[in-house]
Amino acid sequence: MLSRRNVAIAAVVVLIAIWALWPSPYTRVANLGSHGSNVIAFGDSLTAGYGAGAGEDYPSRLSEIAGIAVINAGVSGDTTETALARLDNDVLARDPRIVIVGLGGNDFLRSVPIATTEANLRTIVRKTQAAGAMVVLLGFRFPSLSADYGEMYKRIAGDERCLLVAGVLSGILTDESLKSNAIHPNAKGYRLMAERIAGPLRKLIRKADAAR
């Protein structure tokens, strides 16, 4: 009969083996060996930096924190549909290596069906990947009783082999010190968004550099 100590050791060995064999969310990202040049943040007012001053948007802060250049391709008011319409000119024509996609809030505010939002996001992801770039998908939760937006972003990331950074707005829009109005962060809030994205982005770049 195994002693308790041996059982404990065996359990630890099993856990280590499971951890070692568990697929990394970074190594499964499509186009890990991308030869593109630029990191591009693509989104709506949360990317453009509405509610903060020049250089206080999250892509600018992300550039400072991560030590890499990040192009801000955010347009206030964009839905997934209008963003899709400008994807070619604003993103794909700029030699992207990594595209950070942050969209969906205006779809929610305008009562766009979540199925339409999901279809548009998948098209954006697929077109970006077809151009040879990796996709980092930002996940948001919106106060809907009929649609689970958090699950939608998770589903897209899993199906389309994106890196998901979930909950980037968590706690920001419920904290008066971190927001400029009811639906936008202030400079401090955007910095917190950037901090949440920076770690996963740096890990992805390290994996991608090794895959080149």
Tell me the mean pLDDT in the region 118-122.
98
Read off the pTM: 0.89
Query: pLDDT per residue over 75-84, tens digit each?
Result: 999 999 999 9
CA dist 196 and 164 (Å) reads 11
* CB within 8 Å of 8: residues ≥ 6 apart: none
Mean pLDDT of 160-168: 97
- 92 DSSP 8-state letter: G
Q: What's the angle, vertex CA 141, arms to CA 53 and CA 191, rounded to 5?
A: 25
104 phi-psi bin (left φ>0, alpha ψ -120 to 50, beta other): left
pLDDT for the residue 94: 98
